[in-house]
């Protein structure tokens, strides 16, 4: 999970850094937004896929149930897909919107973990238990 979280951090931090590329060049800052260059979106997609796969692997190794995989992994994958399909890397406002939406993604991951916990503890009503 830790390796997955590193991938996620690189992913959202690079989105945050995109509007600062001209200033980074002038200041000599070595940001990932500059490092990834023309392959930025492709590399970020790879980091996002690695994050989802590593999160799913952690779920398998931890014995998580369906709620984790459906909500934490599945809904997070959908959220990343939305980000990638609508992200305009040259638009500073859109970069900030996508960056901030990663807080929502954290809430999605937490919700899946919480529902998984409730399901395993028997606290989840049987009507919604998977």
**pLDDT tens, residue by residue, 21-62:** 999 999 999 999 999 999 999 999 999 999 999 999 999 999
Q: Identify whether 129 is part of a domain.
A: no
Query: For residues 34 and 24, is the Cβ–Cβ distance under 8 A?
Result: yes
The verdict on residue 38 lying in a domain is: yes
Domain hosting residue 75, numbered range: 2-121
- pLDDT of 122: 81
22 exposure class (CB count in 10 Å sphere: 0-12, 13-18, 19+) = exposed
Q: Is residue 130 part of a domain?
A: no
Indicate whether 102 belongs to any domain. Answer: yes
Q: What is the CATH number of the domain that holds 113?
A: 1.20.120.1780
Q: Give the pLDDT of residue 124.
A: 72
- pLDDT of 56-103, one tens digit each? 999 999 999 999 999 999 999 999 999 999 999 999 999 999 999 999
Judge whether 128 lies within some domain.
no
- Report the pLDDT value the prediction gives residue 56, as an integer from 0 to 100: 98
Cα 9 to chain center, whole Å? 8
In a domain, 64, yes or no: yes
Whether pLDDT at 126 is above 80? no
Residue 129, pLDDT score: 57
Instruction: Report the number of distinct structural domains present in the chain.
Output: 1
- 126 domain residue, yes or no: no
Is residue 25 in a domain?
A: yes
């Amino acid at each position: 999970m830790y390796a997955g979280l590193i991938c996620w951090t690189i992913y959202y931090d690079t989105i945050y850094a995109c509007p600062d590329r001209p200033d980074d060049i002038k200041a000599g800052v070595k940001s990932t937004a500059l490092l990834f260059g023309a392959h930025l979106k492709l590399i970020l997609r790879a980091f996002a896929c690695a994050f989802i796969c590593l999160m799913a692997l952690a779920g398998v190794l931890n014995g998580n149930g369906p709620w984790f995989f459906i909500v934490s992994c599945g809904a997070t994958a959908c959220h990343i897909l939305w980000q990638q399909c609508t992200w305009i890397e040259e638009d500073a406002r859109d970069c900030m919107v996508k960056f901030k939406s990663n807080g929502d993604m954290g809430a999605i991951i937490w919700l899946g973990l919480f529902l998984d916990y409730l399901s395993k503890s028997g606290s989840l009503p049987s009507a919604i238990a998977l």
